Amino acid sequence: MSIVAVTGGTGFLGRQLVAGLAEAGHRVRVLDRAAPLNGAPGVEYRVGDVTDPGSVRELLDGADAVLHSAFVSPHADRHAIDRVNVGGTHLLLRAAAYAGVRRFVLVSSTIVGRAVSPHRLLPGAPASRLAAYRWSRVRAELAVERAAGPMTTAIARPKTFVGPGQVGGYALVMAGVAASEPIAIFGPGTNRYQLVDVRDLADGLVRLVGSDATGVFGFGATEYGTVAEDLAALIQHAGSRSHVVSLPPAAGRAALASLRTLSLPPLGEWHECCSLGTDSVMDTGRAVTELGWTPTRSNATALCDAYDGMVESVGAGGSSTTHPVPATHRLARRLLNTGLARVASSRTASP
């Protein structure tokens, strides 16, 4: 029975990872900044930080493998992003090599493949933090790829993951569906945006850390429809009176540009994908052929399960609940899903 050290093991993905590793027969040791409210039986939890050498040494003592899923999001300041995402990864790699760890897997992000430009004038703006976040992920990957010694390494790049417990960038949409509001999208919604259910992702990562495979692995659902089709499935599942309304793509591009210029938080990659009318799909071939990974849940299933989890968490029965999202995003939802949607109601996109 091997010991797998997991960073960020008490978060949304981390809880699924811990459960999957334990089910696969591994001993699991978790490092996170806070103790879990309800820890998994038999799991060793350590409170600490990936940037603290003492915490890292204790985590890796006797460990056979590391599954590094801890990170700081673009909502943090640039110093924290660099300190945790880059510095923490470097520290873990050095400590793992010194401790004789045989396997190291980094959970990265598909943002490394996107072009992200910082704000032209404000280095602390959300757009600039997003660019800093992307660069931190790129440098973390480079550190893993250049790791020397007998330790094998691999990098996971999952698509946006949702499921019971987290709605991700779909918070605006799901709040609108729960309130039976029109759901406005830019463009006809005929493009595809691939997701991955968090439970399927956890299964893939457990397989990856237990293998000797190296390089980059993509994880995404194999069943996904167009944006309009996936939204229609969610609306039907929720029993909502919402409908999808298509707005001019040019308006979406202008709205995203305005958010960047005004230094407001970007709505997310999903909104950008819709406004640009482009597909966002990842090749999962290596995970399927080399790891034997088979995702069992479609985009629609992941969205519907995430919606059910949201409804359950707020205890509103699924008809009038609202999900806690930033004030600027609530305003954007109100503008897009009511005013603009009603003006353009003749352009309803029916799948």
Query: Tens of pLDDT along 259-307?
Result: 656 555 555 566 666 656 788 899 999 999 999 999 999 999 999 999 9
In sequence order, what are the residues at sequence separation of 6 or more whose Cβ sits closer than 8 angstroms to the Cβ of residue 87?
Answer: 51
280 SS3 class: strand
Closest CA to 194 of 301, 274, 299, 351: 299
Side chain identity at residue 252, one-letter code: G
Phi, psi of 218 (to 5 degrees): -95, 145
Closest CA to 204 of 106, 288, 281, 141: 288
Cα gap 193→196, rounded to integer Å: 10
Model pLDDT, residue 327: 46
What global pTM score does this model have? Answer: 0.86
Residue 82 has pLDDT above 60, yes or no: yes
Residue 99 has pLDDT above 70, yes or no: yes
Model pLDDT, residue 276: 65
Q: What is the pLDDT of residues 301-321, one digit of tens each?
A: 999 999 999 888 866 443 333
Model pLDDT, residue 69: 97
Question: Across residues 67-94, what is the average pLDDT?
Answer: 94
Model pLDDT, residue 183: 86
Model pLDDT, residue 175: 86
Q: What is the pLDDT of residues 125-149, one digit of tens each?
A: 666 788 888 899 999 999 999 997 8
Residue-wise over 103-126: b if at least 16 C-beta within 10 A, else e?
bbbbbbbbbbeeebebbeeeeebb
Across 2-6, 179-183, 246-250, least confident range:
246-250
CA distances from 238 to 151, 234, 311, 325 (A): 47, 6, 10, 20
Cα gap 121→233, rounded to integer Å: 42
Residue 48 has pLDDT above 60, yes or no: yes
Model pLDDT, residue 247: 78
Cα gap 329→171, rounded to integer Å: 9
CA distances from 240 to 37, 178, 180, 299, 317 (A): 33, 7, 5, 18, 12
Model pLDDT, residue 113: 84
Percent of the chain past pLDDT 70, that is, above it, reads 79
Model pLDDT, residue 262: 57
Model pLDDT, residue 348: 34
Q: What is the pLDDT of residues 188-240, one digit of tens each?
A: 889 999 999 999 999 999 999 999 999 999 999 999 999 999 999 999 999 99
Residue 182 has pLDDT above 60, yes or no: yes
Question: Across residues 49-67, what is the average pLDDT?
Answer: 97
Cross-strand partners of 244: 183
Cα gap 197→341, rounded to integer Å: 29
Model pLDDT, residue 341: 39
Judge whether 146 and 207 are in contact, CB under 8 Å: no
Model pLDDT, residue 319: 34
In sequence order, what are the residues at sequence separation of 6 or more whose Cβ sits closer than 8 angstroms to the Cβ of residue 331?
Answer: none
Model pLDDT, residue 266: 56
Model pLDDT, residue 127: 67
Cα of first residue to Cα of last residue in the chain, in angstroms, is 50
Greater confidence (237 vs 37) lies with 237
CA distances from 131 to 50, 282, 327, 336 (A): 22, 21, 22, 26
Residue 122 has pLDDT above 80, yes or no: no
Cα gap 5→77, rounded to integer Å: 27
